[in-house]
Amino acid sequence: MFDNEASGQIPAANTPVAVSAPKAADTSKRKQLFAGLAGLTLAAGLGYGAWYALVGSHHVETDNAYVAADVAQITPLVGGPVRSVEVRDTQTVTRGQVLVTLDDSDARIALASAQADLAKAERRVRGYLATDQSLAAQITAREADQTRAAASLASAQADLERARIDLERRKALAANGAVSGDELTRAQNAFANAQAAAASAKAAETQAQANRAAAVGSLTANAALTDGTTVDTNPEVASARARVEQAKLDLERTVIRAPIDGVVTRRNVQIGQRVAPGAPLMQVAPIQQAYVDANFKEGQLRKVAIGQPVELKSDLYGGSVTYHGKVVGLSGGTGSAFAMIPAQNATGNWIKVVQRLPVRIALDPAELKARPLRVGLSMTAAIDTRR
């Protein structure tokens, strides 16, 4: 019997060929790898689903967040040449620290002038009060003059009446020749003199009344300047005192101080420069009072509410440092709504763009003090909406 190979015969097509052992092992290993990969994928999917259901669905996150602060604008309240500049850019300052000093020569002169005006006003009011007393005495004197004039008028009227009776008696006797013509003439003259004296007394009384009325009017007019007031509370003195206080305030304002604690930025004032009231000199950024404005997509804000906790990370310190804060407010509109040129979607060329709304986040002061931030730095914010 011959061997197939030796005889040159070809095996039949349906004759089974044995598979090598290494090839079978590779196929088995490949199947195991695919099965393991499918298991890992399934486990990852289940893990992500569980994480999203328990954690992810209750958190919203954005990296469109930036550090901000209510920067203090340093401007002079009075004008004048700059005498000295005490700080530089990037310098840390405390509240009340001197930043800039203006030349105070004009302010000192204005204060001296206001103080002189106050002294004159006080003396003038004291004169008003003294005049009140003088006019009151004049009224008393005019009343005495009026009384005396009334008495003189009464005496003159009595003399006139006596002269009239005497004249009538003389006329009756003159008809019988009992009284001489000279005696009748003297009686007539006496009556005329008594009339003149009565008229003069009447005029004197009228003059006395007028003098008293004038004195009363003068007292009333002067009292209107001092009624219910003293030297200190008189309106003229109060006005002059207010001008003194304003001059003192203007003098104090020649020394410009820091209104808050912070870091000096954008200093643009130099010695010798003449500044006007309201001119920007520098800014002070209160980095210890910094906050974060995080711009979330409108679809992320369904469950966001004030008071919810926030975890933040800064590009400055990296992912190893986490800040903690809370939501303190949501803006009244999106950035596009308050832009200088708002988008006009009524033109017809409209493409929907997802809008973002700024959310104000307050930072933990202790963490902020330990690791200070600067205005404008990028942050990543994640809000826990479960609370």
If you average pLDDT over each of 117-131, 154-168, 369-383, which comes out highest? 369-383
The whole-number average pLDDT for the span 203-208 is 82
Other beta carbons less than 10 A from residue 268's beta carbon: 11
The pLDDT value given to residue 131: 76
CA–CA gap between residue 339 and residue 358 (Å, rounded)? 13
Condensed to tens digits (0 to 9), the pLDDT of residues 40-65 reads 887 777 776 765 555 556 789 999 99
The pLDDT value given to residue 249: 96
Q: What is the CATH number of domain 107-249?
A: 1.10.287
Of 99, 114, 116, the closest CA to residue 248 belongs to 114
The pLDDT value given to residue 57: 61
Is pLDDT larger for residue 252 or for residue 187? 252
Residue with tokens 């999106």: 334
Of 96, 117, 71, 21, the closest CA to residue 282 belongs to 71
Condensed to tens digits (0 to 9), the pLDDT of residues 268-286 reads 999 999 999 999 999 999 9
CATH 2.40.50.100 fits 72-104+252-284, yes or no: yes
Strand pairing class (356-363; 318-330): antiparallel
Can you read off the two tokens belonging to residue 32? 């195991």
If you average pLDDT over each of 22-36, 46-60, 257-271, 345-359, which comes out highest? 257-271
- Under the banding of pLDDT at 50, 70 and 90, the label for residue 157 is confident
Condensed to tens digits (0 to 9), the pLDDT of residues 330-344 reads 998 887 777 777 777
Q: Is the sign of the CA dihedral 189, 191, 196, 201 positive or negative?
A: positive
Other beta carbons less than 10 A from residue 258's beta carbon: 20
The pLDDT value given to residue 55: 56
Average the pLDDT over each of 56-60, 152-156, 239-243 and give the range with the smallest value: 56-60
If phi > 0 it is left, if psi is from -120 to 50 it is alpha, else beta; for residue 155 that is alpha
What HEC string does 281-302 produce?
A: CEEEECHHHCEEEEEEEHHHCC
CA–CA gap between residue 373 and residue 376 (Å, rounded)? 9
CATH 2.40.30.170 maps onto the chain at: 59-70+286-384
Is pLDDT larger for residue 177 or for residue 357? 357
CATH 1.10.287 maps onto the chain at: 107-249
- Under the banding of pLDDT at 50, 70 and 90, the label for residue 222 is low
* Whether pLDDT at 8 is above 50: no
The pLDDT value given to residue 51: 53
Residue 149, strand partner residues: none
* Whether pLDDT at 223 is above 60: yes
CATH 2.40.30.170 fits 59-70+286-384, yes or no: yes
The whole-number average pLDDT for the span 346-356 is 78
The pLDDT value given to residue 4: 45
- Under the banding of pLDDT at 50, 70 and 90, the label for residue 248 is very high
- Under the banding of pLDDT at 50, 70 and 90, the label for residue 13 is very low
According to DSSP, residue 364 is labeled: P
If phi > 0 it is left, if psi is from -120 to 50 it is alpha, else beta; for residue 12 that is beta
Q: Kindly tell me the burial class for residue 80, based on how many C-beta atoms sit within 10 Å of its own C-beta (0-12, 13-18, 19 or more).
A: buried
Average the pLDDT over each of 112-116, 214-218, 219-223, 249-253 and give the range with the smallest value: 219-223
Instruction: Give DSSP secondary structure letters for 72-93.
Output: EEE--SS-EEEEEE---TT-EE
Considering the chain, what percentage of its residues have pLDDT values greater than 90? Answer: 45
